[in-house]
Amino acid sequence: MNKFIRVNMTTMQVTTEAVPEKYIGLGGRALTSNFVNDEVKPTCHALGKNNKIIFAPGLLSGTTAPNSGRLSVGSKSPLTGTIKECNTGGLFSQKMAKMGIKALVIEGMPADDKFYIIKLDVNGVTIEESPSEILGGCGNYETIQILNEKYGSKVGMAITGPAGEYGLPSANISFKDPESNIRSAGRGGLGAVLGSKKVKAVIIDDTGAQPVPLVDPDKFRAASRVFAKALLDHPVAGQGLAAYGTDVLVNILNEAGGLPTNNFTEGRIDYNDLISGETMNATITERGGEGKVSHGCHPGCVIRCSQWYPDKKGKYITSGFEYETVWALGADAGIRDLDLIAYMDRAMDDVGVDSIEVSVAIATAMAGGLIPFGDGERALELIKEIAQPTPLARIIAGGCSIVGKLCGMFRVPVVKDQAIPAYDPRAVKGIGLTYATTTMGADHTAGYCISGNILKIGADLDPLKKDGQIEYARAMQIGTAAIDSTGMCLFVYFGIGDNPDGYQALIDMINAQYGLSLTATDVDKLGESVLKVERAFNKNAGFTNAHDRLPEFMEYEPVPPHNVVWDFTPEEIDEVYNF
């Protein structure tokens, strides 16, 4: 990958340069975060002309390595005001890598009000006006069909949905998946940043691109085989995720008393099997038709945690139907109907909003009296209204923090204005440390301490106790920052967390591709360096340790059934980033 492409939306100029020396060894999150820290003014307004947005495939993207097709998108977040790295599947990353594009940067903003489409192919980059029929409220599913007609069904796409056009803080960037459905660079409002630059879509056509070059193809293939075996032989990475998807966590967190319920006032529900992964699996299997229990979000995925969830007649409703979305709507907002939640998931993908932020905002709005508690039909209408948007829909799409403020509430589950997902920090203490300290605002994927606290993969800690959690949360965040730089799906961790040979195979693939001799220590150092760069950006944007705190109510409101509070001291929390 030797091309570094910049698209300036102020001048409409495109420059394709060699990759700057300092970025040559970087990919994915390491590249996007270093770039944002180097070039984005930390105090800029995220929707103003001085913010930039960068797309970067991971180090292994575009190769035959299993699960290596994830893309990093970096920018300053309009939701949190922090640096942001969003990670997504779809087709984009592998196509960029095959075309030799290390990074695509979009900067500036046009003076006029028109929306544009940026198209990348082997001949270069073009900028053209967006067709009007996909603007002003057209859903993403329809937009993909219209753009498929125009550019060919095999192209990759990154789309600013209606929410992004309106600059709403929960707007995601929607990516076309292998079947022309939707994956999302979800959290932190980067769809609003792309929208602020008046980019309706980025199209990528890799026709004529060559395979990604490998310095030592034999070594690469050997390591890739070991790595694939590590994933497929692991009961979670190889079988569990494919069968039940991430929604299997409903019953696990419910049993552990860490399933935030009724706006984080309880930790357990009694109707768990209405929304559980077991029920999702059984429903898909019974209905048949277009439904499928397992589905990969990008070519080469062997874990296949996604699915196609069908309606009663067997017609596709949604895919990538995740635990966090089902939890927020099913338990936190009390909507006891998996079909209705599936329609809401689809509607959120269609208007282009983060399904965690908006679902938690809905639960907060219910607690605040804006929507009747448990009223899924009304919530679904409101999500659809984001396409217009009506004033109330605009408020919901403003995210949990804004809804909480407008409702005069103190029980608002956010860190750095980003909604806390799916795991109550009082009952699962390790994840609370990640929520408090990650550079991203509350984000479970930034250091998934559920693994060693609840799932007993990679570690075995008592989720209700503080012992070992600081070191664990630090190690998980460092390891995650490294994996996010490889283009690998984070779920590979389940396959290699307890398997040193599998982990070494991941490093060996990078070494064989680039002719390097990295060790596990080097990879840890890479992860540390990424976190330090992100933290430096946040510090320069005005963030201090005082922002690394959970919502105060968690310190004095015990959550049943274990009746525990958040009891880490500020000094203890600050130890997480002491490295």
Binding site for other proteins (CB under 8 A): 234-236, 240-241, 243-249, 251-252, 255-257, 268, 273, 277-278, 305, 322-323, 444-445, 448, 450-451, 454-457, 462-464, 490-491, 494, 561-562
In the complex with other proteins, which residue's Cβ is closer, 37 or 306?
A: 306
In the complex with other proteins, which residue's Cβ is closer, 227 or 491?
A: 491
Least gap, CB of 469 to other proteins (angstroms): 14
In the complex with other proteins, which residue's Cβ is closer, 168 or 236?
A: 236
* Tokens describing residue 314: 């067997």
* Tokens describing residue 427: 């009952």
The answer to whether the beta carbons of residues 247 and 323 sit under 8 Å apart is yes
* Tokens describing residue 247: 């929604």
In the complex with other proteins, which residue's Cβ is closer, 409 or 455?
A: 455
* Residues whose CB falls within 8 Å of the CB of residue 505, separated by 6 or more in sequence, listed in order: 223, 224, 226, 227, 230, 496
In the complex with other proteins, which residue's Cβ is closer, 204 or 305?
A: 305
Least gap, CB of 235 to other proteins (angstroms): 4
Least gap, CB of 455 to other proteins (angstroms): 5
CB burial readout 244-265, b (16+ within 10 A) else e: bbbbbbbbbbbebbbbbbbbbe
| H or E element at residue 347 | helix 338-351
Least gap, CB of 242 to other proteins (angstroms): 11
Sequence letter at residue 495: G
The answer to whether the beta carbons of residues 472 and 458 sit under 8 Å apart is no
In the complex with other proteins, which residue's Cβ is closer, 342 or 412?
A: 342
- Give yes or no for a cis peptide into 389 (omega within 30° of 0): yes
CA distances 380 to 43, 339, 341, 362, 423, Å, are 36, 12, 8, 10, 24
Least gap, CB of 240 to other proteins (angstroms): 4
Q: Report the sign of the C-alpha dihedral through residues 535, 538, 539, 544, in that order.
A: negative
In the complex with other proteins, which residue's Cβ is closer, 19 or 259?
A: 259
DSSP one-letter code for 235: I
Least gap, CB of 403 to other proteins (angstroms): 25
Return contacts of 250-255, CB within 8 angstroms, 24+ apart. 250/275, 250/276, 250/277, 250/323, 250/326, 250/327, 250/330, 250/331, 251/276, 251/277, 251/278, 252/454, 252/455, 253/327, 253/422, 253/423, 253/428, 253/450, 253/454, 254/331
Least gap, CB of 176 to other proteins (angstroms): 23
Dist CA 297 CA 89 (whole Å): 5
Dist CA 270 CA 400 (whole Å): 25
Least gap, CB of 322 to other proteins (angstroms): 8
If DSSP codes are grouped into helix, strand and coil, which group holds residue 555?
helix
DSSP one-letter code for 135: S
Least gap, CB of 507 to other proteins (angstroms): 22
Tokens 């792309």 belong to residue: 194
Least gap, CB of 511 to other proteins (angstroms): 27
Least gap, CB of 255 to other proteins (angstroms): 5
In the complex with other proteins, which residue's Cβ is closer, 238 or 398?
A: 238
In the complex with other proteins, which residue's Cβ is closer, 42 or 320?
A: 320
In the complex with other proteins, which residue's Cβ is closer, 188 or 245?
A: 245
In the complex with other proteins, which residue's Cβ is closer, 326 or 362?
A: 326
